[in-house]
Structure 1
Amino acid sequence: MTREEQQRYMISILERIVNIPSPSGYTKEVMDFLTQEAWAMGYPVEHNNKGGIIIKVAGKSGEVLGLGAHGDTLGAMVRSVTKNGCLKIFPVGGYMMSTIEGEYCKIHCRRNGRTYTGTVLTTKPSVHVYDDCRTQERVAENMEIRIDEIVESDKEVEALGIGAGDYISFDPRFEYTPSGFIKSRHLDDKASVAVLMTFLKYLHETGKQPEKTLKIIFTNYEEIGHGASFIPSDIQEFLAVDMGALGDDLTGNETKVSICAMDSSGPYDYDMTNRLIQIAEELGLGYAVDIFPHYGSDVSAALRGGNNIRGALIGQGVHASHGMERTHIQGMMNTLALIKGYTGLEDDHD
């Protein structure tokens, strides 16, 4: 499988999965898609009780390395229906309200299974009407969804089957530019899901075998903190593949793979992190070592859950995380190359 083929598959599957709505807790469709992809390659898939999936790849030894990425994203939930037929929202995950202002969205009804479209706006959305619309604080209380249906009251909205507790997903607006940038919502962490699926495809197409048995885990509650709180007990090392934060005094960028030495949960495993740095150096990868003080990962959740593991964190740099995100195909390929190296495929240069 050539480098060009890997890139084509990576971009193709990324575009597919970012367009599958999957805010934390509403992830069955994306997990079913990933399950079918893994089955098509001949890999066994297990499902945990929370709806996450575990894909097993036999290695040369019985030691087990966990590789994880999360398929859940940011989103919202209907809090209430207003008297004039709009929706008040409550966020799922942590983001600035200003990043969703003006965004198109979908409302997923629990009661009848229907999906409606809408737009996220402030409660004072027009400069022609409201004197203080520019200075209105962008907080959840001042945001609402305008539904694309002819409704003017709460009763008319409720008649559609929309009510409190319905999920809201934001349209990703995926774009792959000629210069190699990927612009989209939900690159945190669907870009890494695409990297790991490309790794699976690579192993399948080439017949290569990793040094250790792999358990690739796609979680579905990472954005709210407990994605990998439980992982299989035979995993000894767990490498989270998430995203590299960019900005301020950080040294990463969108073309590099970031290696996180510490985040808000504390330092990652010293030896694993050193090994990742060593491999990146040996392979001549574009990489950065950084600290992310406002960040947590599935390894953080796994350690808090009491799992007896060593853990580390890597991922392509993602600009404007939890907003309108952007990364680069080069950063994703550097992340893939580091995973290959860490799993014992250091001699691969395809």
Structure 2
Amino acid sequence: MADLSVNRRRLLGGTAAGMAGMVGLAGVAGAEPAGMQASPMGPWTYVPPGESIKAAFDAGARAIQLGDGDYRLTETLVPPSGAVVRGLGRRTRLLATTVMNAAVAIGNGGAIEAVQISDLMIECDGKAKTGIDLNVVGTSGNYYWEPDSICRLDNLRIYQPVLDGINYRGEDTQSCVSSRVRVRDAGRYGYNVQAPDNWWIACEATTSTSTGSTAGFGVFGSNNFFQSCKAWYCRDYGFHVKGVRNKFIGCESQDTRSHGWYIEWGRNVYTGCTADSASFYDVGGTSAGADGFHVLEGDDTSMVGCQAFDRKAGGHAAQQRYGFNIPASMITNGQLVGHSGYDNVTGLLNRR
């Protein structure tokens, strides 16, 4: 009988000696011999800093381990179907060095599945319009009959995209999970969510630009799930919701210039969500200029156990106007339940 434990080790990471060699090379700055090229380690290919990830893909590599240092991108990196790219967290950086539409493009408008990117930083540096662009159209070549692309983004940090930290679009960008992703200083949206049927867990975003419509999370798709996500220091909205059948659980907006939650469309669910200090002075807010939850359409919307408050940060007086500024029908129909809050300038609840 075959030694299943040995086979499993080979599948996951090569031999113990091979993995030890990879860690030794990747884990110490400057440990790679000068001019070292990409090298296979079991199923993994180690690409040292300064070498080309694209060249490794072109040579047939599908599991890429990155090392301690910078990977300078002169063009958009387009992973092939089934590709896995992982780094060493803070110590691995993809750096856009010229103007490009995206630092990383998954799908690029075509069919792709099961791409995984994890444990690294993407420095857009004001050059890449988008950190990661998921744009999957088509299912040709998918495992069995899978109708979705099933991609995974985890433990990433994305800095200074001209427009969006991550853009989710394309009719088959579905069943994708983004977790532990931090987007800083996005020019438009931290997360531009146009696609349906995806998940976000413990993701956060800040924005750098006030146009009247930027947001940490721009939610325009349907049937998406957001859990423990946070928008903060946003120059317009924290969450801008203009889609239906989306679920928000334990999500928070904090310190926004405009409304913490700007909810244009109904038919969504909000459970245990928080609005903390809209109209925040440090991002250009003016006292009583914005609400915690500002709901334009409340049809078939449920808000349960949500809280809106102004914590009077930095010794300033309260700035958030209303905690909940909502259609009166939401009260009449019992759609706002167990809400609470404090220190809002004009009051906790405004029924329109």
Q: Which category of TM-score, normalised to the shorter sequence, fits these structures?
A: under 0.3
Larger radius of gyration: 2
- Whose strand fraction is larger, Structure 1's or Structure 2's? 2
> What TM-score, normalized to structure 1?
0.22
- Whose helix fraction is larger, Structure 1's or Structure 2's? 1
Higher RCO (CA < 8 A, seq sep 6+): 1
> What TM-score, normalized to structure 2?
0.22
